């Protein structure tokens, strides 16, 4: 159980560091929307997703270990934390995160234009 606790602490530390980097890159992309900031955000997303997938895979070795409920919950959250599972092929993973980042940028660039009556139009 000590090994499981050490693993989850290391995983959380690594993911916290990557999440901070990803949040900063996402903020820059959302504030200064252009191709370069989309690429920076995509790279940060790709690194965070890859690390989460790797740690989730590694965590399966502890699936049969009897552990306290709080520790078991941390392992479960690690395995369920991905909102976008990237392909294992690095080129496909990069492409997916770049597409997702471009979509975020497109959303940020869009405007809602009021029309006569109650109809609103989305303009990008």
Task: Say if pTM beats, i.e. exceeds, 0.75.
Answer: no
- Residue 81 per-residue DSSP state: -
Phi/psi of residue 13, each to 5°?
-65, -45
pLDDT, tens digit, for every residue of 49-100?
889 888 998 999 999 999 999 999 999 999 888 766 667 787 887 787 778 7
Per-residue confidence (pLDDT) for residue 123, from 0 to 100: 59
* Chain-centre distance for alpha carbon 43: 11
Residue 78: count other Cβ atoms within 10 Å of its Cβ. 19
Residue 1: count other Cβ atoms within 10 Å of its Cβ. 11
Per-residue confidence (pLDDT) for residue 65, from 0 to 100: 92
Per-residue confidence (pLDDT) for residue 33, from 0 to 100: 83
Domain range summary for the chain, segments of one domain joined by +: 2-123
pLDDT, tens digit, for every residue of 19-47?
999 999 989 988 888 889 888 988 898 88
């Amino acid at each position: 159980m000590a090994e499981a606790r050490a693993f989850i602490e290391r995983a959380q530390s690594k993911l916290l560091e990557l999440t901070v980097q990803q949040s900063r890159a996402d903020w820059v992309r959302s504030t200064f929307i252009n191709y370069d900031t989309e690429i920076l955000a995509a790279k940060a997303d790709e690194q965070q997703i890859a690390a989460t997938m790797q740690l989730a895979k590694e965590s399966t070795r502890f699936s049969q270990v009897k552990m306290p409920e709080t520790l078991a919950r941390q392992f479960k959250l690690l395995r369920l934390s991905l909102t976008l599972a990237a392909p294992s092929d690095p080129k496909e993973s990069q492409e997916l995160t770049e597409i997702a980042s471009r979509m975020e940028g497109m959303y940020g660039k869009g405007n809602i234009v009021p029309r006569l009556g109650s109809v609103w139009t989305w303009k990008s």
